[in-house]
């Protein structure tokens, strides 16, 4: 399974994933974009899969709110580290096939560096 986390839209956590060479998208509505792991567990449970079934990870960077972007990158990097799988950064308008090829050529142990759409607004 190739799993892509997109936490860039306020009020939504979006997962794109490939199963049997077919891409599927699931969107979870939320009031709090900090629920990435909760929704990931719900997604995997609904598919009768576990985290160990994830072979590649992607995360959308460079768009969205600072904290939501940071959280998505941290989640993906932590999962990549613990599962010993590759992780890649993707733009908001990524091409699914190209993203999968990028992930397949990625190196395990090289993690995503967050990029943001602007400066953090604190306060």
Q: Is residue 57 part of a domain?
A: yes
> Alpha-carbon distance 34 to 53, whole Å?
23
pLDDT band at 120 (very low <50, low <70, confident <90, very high): low
CATH code, domain carrying 12 = 3.30.420.40
pTM score of the predicted model = 0.91
Q: What's the domain range around 18?
A: 2-105
Tell whether 17 is covered by a domain: yes
Residue scoring higher pLDDT (65 or 123)? 65
Q: What is the pLDDT of residues 56-91, one digit of tens each?
A: 999 999 887 888 888 999 999 999 999 999 999 999
Does residue 79 sit within a domain?
A: yes
Give Cα separations from 99 to 31, 117, 118 (angstroms). 28, 20, 24
Instruction: Quote the number of domains for the chain.
Output: 1
Indicate whether 116 belongs to any domain: no
């Amino acid at each position: 399974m190739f799993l892509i986390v997109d936490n860039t839209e306020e009020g939504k956590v979006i997962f794109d994933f490939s199963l049997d060479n077919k891409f599927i998208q699931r969107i979870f509505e939320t009031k709090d974009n900090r629920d990435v792991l909760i929704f990931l567990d719900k997604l995997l449970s609904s598919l009768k899969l576990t985290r160990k079934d994830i072979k590649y990870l992607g995360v959308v960077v460079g768009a969205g709110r600072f904290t939501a972007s940071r959280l998505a990158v941290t989640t993906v990097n932590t999962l990549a580290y613990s599962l010993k799988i590759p992780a890649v950064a993707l733009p908001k308008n990524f091409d699914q096939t190209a993203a999968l090829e990028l992930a397949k050529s990625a190196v395990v142990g090289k993690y995503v560096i967050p990029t943001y759409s602007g400066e953090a607004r604190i306060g």
